[in-house]
Structure 1
């Protein structure tokens, strides 16, 4: 059940002699092909631990398939192929080692053919959509409670939510808070980067003015109208 995938978000199993590795992501991650490669290496190592890898007999292994279920808020296409070779430091038109992963957008209104074929997945998308929608106006606890109550009443994940109401609520709140924290962290990082860029631009302007006019740093900052409470920080970064 995907409601639990934020806690246990990697799943592997063998169907029809094929190794299937599924991952659930609420944040787009271009590094998943590399992570899948590491997961697969560990799994194959475990599956062949009793085999003679140095012998002349070919050891049969299950062919892998990698799928990512994405339901983040950042816009992504219905289907997207992520490749290990996209992460290589230099382009390689014919990589000796490749891994491709299919990312499926499972948000409400996306990949409708898949959603119609799998009611549980469609219900999960509807439930997630309601939690996020209500959380824009209500405290997250109230938003989750309202979404759960409505979904049970309307037959959306009703059996699961009825049996596991308390745990589903707890995990949903955790997942939402985790997403919110990650969004805030990215926004704060972006703002810090902008601020650092502005400071570096001012620092370069101070240096150029000092050199061009043969004046002190203090005089240059006065001309550039840099506030006094910021001047000490720039002085510490200028050559003595």
Structure 2
């Protein structure tokens, strides 16, 4: 099985779904000094089991702000459009259907958009991209601004001094990439990096608690897209939703994936996953 291509954003989501780390990152971005993690409410968008477009991380700060974040290897000119569509889904979920036709203005949290890239030392440290850059007929009446931060290790990203967890995430990725350049396969590179980082106090608490899960989500064992492609090539044509579900169950049965991670990806509790999969 091929190695997972998007291990970086999977790890990013896992780390920053921890509210203490997320609050630290939000404070670094906003310049605030919030201390109460209860103010953060992580958004979940349920629908199709696996959506072709999935936002890495979005959350509300009380009823005041909504923040959407993405982690990307390089800058993507379509990020303003993608984040615009994600925001529309969040607003649609928040506002009752009946409110769309009422006369009272429906209050909405103020949106903020951030993309973190690992584009290397030659990429800009910070920049912005706007939705209007894609318009074919001028600026129009709609705008959306995305703030990009280059978080490659060794770059003078202004967020590193304010959010140690982000800096340590960057260091973790750099350690993996260094081992890959040395000729290690990704499976071994991930494993070595986990032990190195625990020893050198890099994401130590997170890795000590979630070491097995991190290895599962970043290594060769957890590549759902590739596994699905193999399943389809063998003649299973039941559609993306059913195909991905069957692949999840198969990976668990073969011992390649923990029930905890499979249930999380399926949007279920572990008990629901066991019952539905008949495990």
Q: What TM-score range do you get, normalising by the shorter chain?
A: 0.5 to 0.7
> Aligned partners of 2:219, 2:112: CA distance in 1, in Å?
31
> Aligned partners of 2:216, 2:115: CA distance in 1, in Å?
24
Partner of 1:99: 144
> Aligned partners of 2:84, 2:121: CA distance in 1, in Å?
25
**Closer, same or farther: CA 9–130 of 1 in aligned 2, 3 Å:** farther
Partner of 1:166: 212
Residues 51-130 of structure 1 mapped to structure 2, 5 A cutoff = 51-73=98-120, 75-92=122-139, 95-130=140-175
> Aligned partners of 1:153, 1:70: CA distance in 2, in Å?
26
Contact 1:27 1:70 in 2 (8 A): yes
Partner of 1:222: none
Partner of 2:47: none
**Closer, same or farther: CA 119–2 of 1 in aligned 2, 3 Å:** farther
- Secondary structure in structure 1 of the residue aligned to 2:58: strand
> Aligned partners of 1:153, 1:41: CA distance in 2, in Å?
43
Match of 2:87 among 20, 40, 62: 40
**Closer, same or farther: CA 57–172 of 1 in aligned 2, 3 Å:** same
Q: Going by fraction, where is helix more abundant, 1 or 2?
A: 1
> Aligned partners of 1:19, 1:168: CA distance in 2, in Å?
27
Q: Which moved more, 1:47-56 or 1:17-26?
A: 47-56
Partner of 1:5: 13
> Aligned partners of 2:147, 2:76: CA distance in 1, in Å?
12
Contact 1:9 1:25 in 2 (8 A): no
Larger radius of gyration: 1
Contact 1:20 1:66 in 2 (8 A): yes
Partner of 1:49: 96
CA deviation string 1:28-66 (max 9, x = no partner): 211010011111111111111244223322211111001
Contact 1:68 1:102 in 2 (8 A): yes
Aligned pairs, how many?
Answer: 176
> Aligned partners of 1:9, 1:50: CA distance in 2, in Å?
23
**Closer, same or farther: CA 142–45 of 1 in aligned 2, 3 Å:** same
Partner of 1:25: 72
- Structure 2 stretches lacking a partner, 5+ long: 1-8, 15-49, 225-279
Structure 1 segments, 4+ long, off by >4 Å, are 6-9
Q: What CA RMSD, in Å, does the superposition of the two structures yield over aligned residues?
A: 2.8
**Closer, same or farther: CA 89–51 of 1 in aligned 2, 3 Å:** same
Q: Which moved more, 1:53-62 or 1:38-47?
A: 53-62
